[in-house]
Amino acid sequence: MSIIFNSATNLFHLQTRSMSYIFQALEGFPTHLYWGRKLNNPDASRLLQRTERCSFSPNPIPEDRSISLDTLPQEYPGYGSSDLRNPAYAVQLANGTTVTELLYVSHRIVNGKPVLEGLPAVYAESGDEAQTLIVTLADKLAGLTVELSYTVIEAFDAVIRSARIVNDSQSVIQLTRALSVSIDLPHDGFELLQLSGTWARERYIHKRALTPGVQAIESRRGSSSHANNPFFALLGEGATEDQGDVYGFSLVYSGSFTAGVEVDQYHTARAYMGINPFDFSWRLEPGEAFQTPEAVMVFSSAGLGSMSHTYHELYRTRLCRGAFRDAIRPILVNNWEATYFNFNADKIESIAKAGSELGLELFVLDDGWFGKRDSDNCSLGDWFVDPKKLPQGLEDLAERVRSHGLQFGLWFEPEMVSPDSDLYRAHPDWCLHVPGRRRSEGRKQLILDLSRADVQAYIIEAIGSILKSAPITYVKWDMNRNMSEIGSALLPAERQRETAHRYMLGLYNVLEQITIAFPHVLFESCSGGGGRFDPGMLYYMPQTWTSDNSDAISRLKIQYGTSIVYPISSMGAHVSASPNHQVGRVTPLKTRGDVAMSGNFGYELDLTAFTEAEKEEVKRQVEQVKEVRELVQYGTFYRLLSPFEGNETAWMFVSPDQREVLVVHVVELNEPNAPLSRLKLKGLRSDYSYEWIGTDEVVGGDELMYAGVAKSIPHSDYFSTVYRFAAQD
């Protein structure tokens, strides 16, 4: 059994293959005791040290001064009844007060993992691979009930948590804070690792030691954002890529979030994560409930790399869904940087024809095919074909592309509307706005109000009609601005602060209906590149355009940081023009291909402009990608050298049976007469002999891991080397 309850001590013990998570109902208070390496026979009396603190930490039980909520490690703390730290939840009751106190009432253990209604979530494929503990807490005076959900899947060292908050009173309750997880760790001896950046610099790795006070990341932008990803990790003392205790926190949500750690006066650390309470509230009528998104907490005793392996496999196989979860992804060409808005059917067909000759499999028509879209100033929302550019329509263009042996894909930005559009002129109230206030534009567009059922229905019908009109097998779903003037014309005054979360619920409903209606379509999420690269979107779309910055050297940091939590199968990575359109860098075509190969591979340039030498290099790249893409998609990913720590970056893939190996090494700036060095591999069988593909050498797995291979000597800047090995029979 994965979940054990000791009725004599009210102890809950959640287990996986090598992890234990333990808490206890102590005097009714859900008290956290332990999270870490697996324990066989834990004893609650040894796991919690109880002692009286000072009078400034009040005691809820006068006769037992060893218990103070201000020092007790808790599972879902409230505020106002003597815990003076950040709470997991907060409500305002009908009498205007905000003091509540949740106590244990009951629990149940169920096989499998219940779905979260209206929200993306990790799933179990069968009832016997997971168990879920649902603990019911209540404040009977307030009429407030909270159901805490904990799921463990035996194969993964993770605890998946969420909360359902129920109004059991006869009056309205205003929910003002509803986090998915809160956990009190016994010390603050951690480094906090976060993934932060901006457009074109997404998910850079940042580390800092915890100090007293609050260390937090968040988004108030209405999306998970380019600035901060809804993930952080706590690295124990001495933890590195390959050793030490690491605790990961990842939120399955795509809207505004908060996450962080509060270090208190006694140097304990309260980690938390959930919907951002800033400008949020939710009105709960009697009998109504609010479901939080879920947080996925991963423990590793073998460093960051092992934590990443858990997230990669869990998200790839138990978060991503549909036919493309396990399907090999096609090699594509996207016309955006080749043509921008300036194209016609003949130009598109010429790129598709060139792609066919080079071995590509999918053509994607990007922005500019609809309405009067000759720039980004108009037409979003008008999802009908521009007859000036495509006089014979999408079906004709798709067939012309398909006649060259390529599938046909299409770009949309369904959540947006241009003020200069037929849709906006017909429905000016359909966008997020506040009466009397300016409607701030970003990229000459506004955001449709997806909290409204009629707007959701329009998007589902409009996008569905296009997808039915032609043989479309791929959709790039873009979203190019963050929220401002967040208000809805249909919500009453007392519910206006629900708008942003209702938007996310509406978006998830739209995505659910469209992706189910078109199961043959591979959907890729995009938000100015990586502005909404989060687990919530992966539930509906198994891959995301990693960044609008396609420069290979910039992508070293972007893709490396992204790999901390997200599987390689989720990353879109393309070869683009040189000089690069974002940073102007001139990079060898080989290096651009070697970097993009470690993702869902494609091209984003004008294939018709290649020289004969470039065509031969692209043919070689395409052939190589077809040989290794199964390994890249399904293999175990190892980070070898970090671009955040030096002039070199290296990573590798190992097949599940440890017989196939792919290694990529990139040197950014060449150094004269540099020292010689070696690259030590990971994850191989020490007793295997590996053929070094492309040479006549055979090397032992032990030698590859412990002695390593000599690095190639660069002869230019931005120099890349690919090593491939195959175990001998």
The conformation of residue 102, written as its DSSP 8-state character, comes to -
Extract the tokens encoding 518.
């078109």
Q: Regarding beta strands 29-37 and 89-92, do their DSSP bridges make them parallel or antiparallel, or are they unpaired?
A: unpaired
Total count of residues recorded for the chain: 729
Contacts of 357 by beta carbon, 8 Å cutoff, 6+ apart? 615
Contacts of 214 by beta carbon, 8 Å cutoff, 6+ apart? 86, 260, 261, 262, 263
For tokens 């890249």, the residue is 632
Q: Regarding beta strands 571-576 and 600-604, do their DSSP bridges make them parallel or antiparallel, or are they unpaired?
A: parallel
Contacts of 38 by beta carbon, 8 Å cutoff, 6+ apart? 15, 16, 17, 18, 19, 20
Tell me the DSSP string of 574-590: EEE-SS-TTT-----HH
Helix axes 552-562, 589-596, angle to 10 degrees: 10
d(CA 227, CA 432): 22
Buried b (16+ CB within 10 A) or exposed e, 656-681: eebbbbbbbbbbbeeeeeeeeeebeb
Is the sign of the CA dihedral 487, 489, 493, 498 positive or negative? negative
Which amino acid is it at 167? Answer: N
d(CA 381, CA 420): 10
Cβ atoms 99, 55 nearer than 8 A: no
> How far is the CA of 486 from the CAs of 440, 457, 483, 503, in angstroms?
11, 20, 6, 10
Catalytic site residues? Answer: 478, 548
